[in-house]
Amino acid sequence: MSATSPFLRQGIEANEPALVVVSGSKIDALRDELGDEAGSVQFADMEDVGLNPVRIIALWQRFVERHAPPGHPVRGIGEPLWSERSPAEMAECQRHERLLNLAFTNTRDFWLLCPYDSESLDESVIEEARHGHSYLSEGGSGSCASDRR
């Protein structure tokens, strides 16, 4: 999660609300990395929220509605995919990520970072992510437009 802490710290410095939805162990690691700044970030355990991927979009919508008045950016980190998910769950999460793009098409002030554990996930999952996201950053370096279809 060390690649995500700079994204959060930038938001904290800009006084932008942030919600992180990842596994409990990653929440703990991120809280440790952020130290005192972790109190400025909201956390939710994806292993609870993401049992049904449909609930994830509703969580993001509520967060944006509550914390993003026009012109005030908010940040999020969401990791719905992990290697222990079944193939059916993976497919639903990938569908969910594409639906997120549709749900927030007109929400300009919402920055959502979706980290992928490229060490543990199958290459086909990573390849699908390359097609399902507007921008990509690999290895923590910059971002570029994806070949989203």
CA angle 138, 141, 147 (to 5 degrees): 45
Domains and CATH numbers, the chain: 5-145 (3.40.50)
What is the pTM assigned to this prediction?
Answer: 0.87
In tens, the pLDDT along 109-129 reads 899 988 888 888 888 888 888
In tens, the pLDDT along 39-50 reads 999 999 999 998
Beta bridge partners of 21: 44, 78
Helix (H) / strand (E) element for 120: namely none
